[in-house]
Amino acid sequence: MLHCSNCVDSHGYCAACRKLETVSANDESIAHLLALLPDVGERGILKSVKHGGISILLYLGFTRGEIVVVDKGYNVLSNRKLSIWEIIKIKLGGVPR
């Protein structure tokens, strides 16, 4: 589901997702977002970005991945699991769709 169709390019990539940066699970700025992903393990990669009125948290584990998008009030706009192929692509430098 696209939440910011005005910033999605012709290949389906969101401008916000292109700006995702690796963060620590102990980072206070993502505490509210991390609470929305209770199954996130200690091992894995967390990436986050705030863009316009939304915040995105991406979790990449060894075989599991998930992405959550919330508005300024931390209302969930999207929360979906990533396929193994999406995880591999993102780990190799790709951008989630």
Show Cβ contacts of residue 19 under 8 Å, excluding neighbours closer than 6 positions. 49, 51
In the chain, the amino acid numbered 23 is: V
Q: Answer yes or no: is pLDDT of 97 > 70.
A: no
Mean pLDDT of the chain: 80
How much is the pLDDT for 42? Answer: 64
pTM for this structure?
0.78
pLDDT over 90 percentage in the chain: 0
pLDDT for the residue 1? 42
Buried b (16+ CB within 10 A) or exposed e, 8-21: beeeeebebbeebe
Residue pair 78/3 in contact by the 8 Å Cβ criterion: yes
Average pLDDT of the residues in 2-16: 64
Q: How far is Cα 95 from Cα 12, in angstroms, rounded to an integer?
A: 10
